[in-house]
Amino acid sequence: MNRRQFLCAFAAAPIAAAADNKPNVILIVGDDLGYADLGAYGGKDIPTPYLDSIARNGVRFTDGYVSCPYCSPTRAGLMTGRYQTHFGHEFNPGPAEQAVENFGLPLTETAMPKRMKDLGYKTGMFGKWHLGYQPDYHPQRRGFDEYYGFLGGAHSYLDADADPANPIFRGTAKVPKVEYTTDQFAAEAAGFIDRNKDNSFFVYLPFNAVHTPLQSLPKYEARFDGKIADPKRKTFAAMLSAMDDGVGLILKTLEKHKLTNKTLLVFHSDNGGPTAANTSKNDPLRGFKAQVYEGGLRVPFMMQWPGKIPKGKTFSNPVIAIDLLPTFVAAAGGTPAADWKLNGVNLLPFVTGKDKAAPHSQLFWRFGQQWAMREGDWKLMSMGGPPTLFNLKADIGESKDLSNAEKGRTETMAAAWENWNKNNIPARWTPQRAGQKKKKKSA
Ligand code: CA
């Protein structure tokens, strides 16, 4: 080694040490899980010990939101840290065979795995993508080193090949057989952690549980024999219990490698429960999936990073899933650039109490004719008609419209929403319904 090489090696040492201190990041997303389905959120009939342990070992958000009450748009917001309506990702695409060809997270946008990869992370995804079917939109073209899952919006839990238009892939190779997707996605994620225990890794584990179809295995159903009479609810319970086991496997894998304290882990649901479809519960919230009532937008939302953020803390200021990208980037030592045009904020200073302010003074939503805005305890929203105003602190169930009693506030908030809406663009596609012909290209 000459003198210059020696100096370079010496100078590089502190940087290498800093890199070693990067936390791993794990993002686990449930599908169509309601606000009241977990024990940590008041659920009584379905034990969810592993999911509840995240709240016990970290922070439970009472007012954790997603940026849309529907599967694909909410994931577009999550993966970019931006309001997805700013880039036209306003709706689901419909089934694979009916989706417009340009459906997917627009290629103008940079996804979370790419941000993490740029910070030196190994990136793996295991589960439901729902952000594009065509090759350019594949998870491995958007920043994931490894991918195992399906590209569509829903899937059989038991049959890998149930829908030829929406197979399960490992990378780009079709997987012929799967025993139970929930078990498989968790096992694949755990295997990725095993292989990358000495690297900084980012795991995205979006389960299809507890989305329909209602399908489980006898070993999970048996846990509720004699306890839940309604057969539909019993299968839902088995599906949720299986997902809880899957989360348990991830937590145990971190323990096995002594990585628990070195890992920032988040769990949330992608939208509120579609109560009629899967028996999920959103109590005490009004409404459900596909609506901008709280029951569609407010979800179970928890975060742990032992030693770095508080244990057993309840955080009641509003947060939103688009905050996770800036949070993960900050945890990884990165700094978002202005041209990332993020709408989310880094939550770490807020959950640690370093910053006592609320992370957001205002939050906004648009989903077709529906729109909503939250400011402090107030929520202004519309299902397509004249807006209604609720005080969520006094009326969490959105039962008493105060828009007439609070005319000035209603007008001010409506004007703020209109101002935000100027940054939205027209939807790049509209949802395709069964029987409609596939469009060649959308506007
Ligand atoms: Ca969903």
Two tokens at 421?
Answer: 């809406």
165 and 56 part of one domain: yes
For residues 298 and 95, give the distance between their C-alpha atoms in angstroms, rounded to a whole number: 26
Residue 443 domain flag? no
Q: How far is the CA of 301 from the centre of ligand 1 (A)?
A: 14
- Angle of the 324-331 helix axis to the 71-80 helix axis, nearest 10: 30
340 and 372 part of one domain: no
**Chosen domain end from 331, 351, 371:** 351
Q: Which residues contact 433 (CB under 8 A, 6 or more apart)?
A: 94, 98
The secondary structure element, H or E, covering residue 378 is strand 378-382
Q: How far is the CA of 215 from the centre of ligand 1 (A)?
A: 16
273 contacts 288 by C-beta, under 8 angstroms: yes
Query: C-alpha distances in angstroms, 385 versus 6, 18, 85, 369, 372?
Result: 70, 54, 20, 8, 12
Residue 10 domain flag? no
Q: In the annotation, is 211 catalytic? A: no
Quote the pLDDT of residue 365: 98
369 and 334 part of one domain: no
Quote the pLDDT of residue 70: 97
What CATH number does residue 410 fall under?
A: 3.30.1120.10
Q: How far is the CA of 226 from the centre of ligand 1 (A)?
A: 29
Q: How far is the CA of 242 from the centre of ligand 1 (A)?
A: 17
Residues of the chain with pLDDT under 50: 1-19, 434-435, 437-443
Q: How far is the CA of 93 from the centre of ligand 1 (A)?
A: 13
Catalytic-role residue among 68, 86, 89, 130: 130
The secondary structure element, H or E, covering residue 385 is none
| pLDDT tens figures, 209-232 | 999 999 999 999 999 999 999 999
Q: Which of 368, 262, 251, 242 is nearest to 305 (CA)?
A: 262
Q: Return the bridge partners of 382, or none.
A: 371
322 and 390 part of one domain: no
Write out the DSSP string of 37-95.
Answer: SSGGGT--SS--HHHHHHHHHSEEETTEE-S-SSHHHHHHHHHHTS-GGGGT--S---S
Strand, coil or helix: 375: strand
Residue 11 domain flag? no
**Chosen domain end from 351, 373, 403:** 351
Q: Which residue has the tokens 């999936």?
A: 289
Q: Which residue has the tokens 């080193």?
A: 145
Residue 169 domain flag? yes
Q: How many folded domains does the chain comprise?
A: 2
Residue 432 domain flag? no
Residue 66 domain flag? yes
Quote the pLDDT of residue 438: 47
Which residues fall inside 5 Å of ion ligand 1, going by CB? Answer: 31-32, 71, 270-271
Q: How far is the CA of 269 from the centre of ligand 1 (A)?
A: 8
Q: How far is the CA of 311 from the centre of ligand 1 (A)?
A: 28
170 and 243 part of one domain: yes
Q: In the annotation, is 71 catalytic? A: yes
Rounded (5°) CA angle 134-428-34: 85
108 and 157 part of one domain: yes
Two tokens at 391?
Answer: 């005080």
Rounded (5°) CA angle 121-126-130: 105
136 and 187 part of one domain: yes
**Chosen domain end from 316, 351, 386:** 351
Quote the pLDDT of residue 413: 98
Quote the pLDDT of residue 432: 64
294 and 252 part of one domain: yes
Two tokens at 270?
Answer: 């992608």
pTM of the complete model? 0.94
Residue 436 domain flag? no
For residues 47 and 245, give the distance between their C-alpha atoms in angstroms, rounded to a whole number: 11
Quote the pLDDT of residue 145: 98
Quote the pLDDT of residue 225: 98
For residues 141 and 106, give the distance between their C-alpha atoms in angstroms, rounded to a whole number: 12
336 and 284 part of one domain: yes
Q: How far is the CA of 5 from the centre of ligand 1 (A)?
A: 53
323 and 377 part of one domain: no
Q: Which residue has the tokens 């992608």?
A: 270
For residues 418 and 416, give the distance between their C-alpha atoms in angstroms, rounded to a whole number: 5
205 contacts 126 by C-beta, under 8 angstroms: yes
238 and 373 part of one domain: no
Strand 24-30 to strand 122-128: parallel, antiparallel, or no bridges (unpaired)?
A: unpaired
Q: How far is the CA of 97 from the centre of ligand 1 (A)?
A: 19
Residue 356 domain flag? no
69 and 105 part of one domain: yes
Catalytic-role residue among 68, 71, 89, 138: 71
Q: How far is the CA of 51 from the centre of ligand 1 (A)?
A: 18
For 249, the domain range is 22-351
Q: How far is the CA of 143 from the centre of ligand 1 (A)?
A: 22
Q: Which residue has the tokens 């968790």?
A: 186
